[in-house]
A = this chain, B = another copy of it.
Amino acid sequence: MENSKQNQKSDLPKVFVLRWGHRPQRDVRLTTHVALTARALCASGFILSDVEDSSIEQTVKKITTHWGGNFQFEMGTSWKKVVHDWKNNDSVVVHLTAYGENIQTSDVLNRIKTLKKDILVVVGSQKVPGEFFSSDVSDFNVSVGNQPHSECSALAIFLDRFFEGKELDVNFEKAKIKIVPQKRGKEIKSDLEFS
């Protein structure tokens, strides 16, 4: 039985995701998955730093047009400028890395939540610059387990825990299509059918 509370996105803290180290072509699909994960799990926006990749921009904007919400997409800005701006804006920078404090076995998530500030989540790909670990960049280095896996998965679990699951019960405004959850089969409603 579905028990939708239809929380509004505006009730949740503002989280942006910065993707560092994207290699156009090679990383297109993974970075797209990271961006769509950010959107679906109620981050407010996604920043593809240092490079531009119009194919990702197109996919993300098309999904947002169809599926709703006010997800922001930005690309090409240098990561240093983004981090600098967020820090100057009294926000918190969280670097997701397998080397950081374990989100399960440490109290790092509580320490982040207690601050009640907007958050920039920095997600790398291959090896990130050593300075990402320093306090000049990251306020927290957080690991989603200390095993190698996927930046996509790490981001998903971080957001799910940060938003305490509420991000999966949000009404995406201005959607043209919506899924109606089913035990069997598929049901999609178009905006003409929304009551």
Please report A residues at the B interface, Cβ cutoff 8 Å: 1-5, 27, 29-30, 33-34, 36-37, 39-41, 63, 67, 98-107, 130, 133-135, 140-141, 143-150, 152-157, 160-161, 165-169, 172, 178-187
Contacts and interface: CB of A to CB of B under 8 A. Distances in A.
A96 to B, nearest CB: 12
A141 B101 contact: no
Contacts of A153: 33, 37, 40-41, 152-153, 155-156
Contacts of A99: 179, 181-182, 185-187
Q: This chain: how many copies in the complex?
A: 2
A106 B1 contact: yes
B147 A67 contact: yes
B143 A33 contact: no
B168 A102 contact: yes
A154 B149 CA distance: 14
B182 A141 contact: yes
Contacts of A179: 98-99, 143, 146-147
7 contacts: A29-B30, A33-B153, A36-B150, A39-B147, A40-B149, A99-B185, A133-B184
Contacts of A67: 147-148
A25 to B, nearest CB: 12
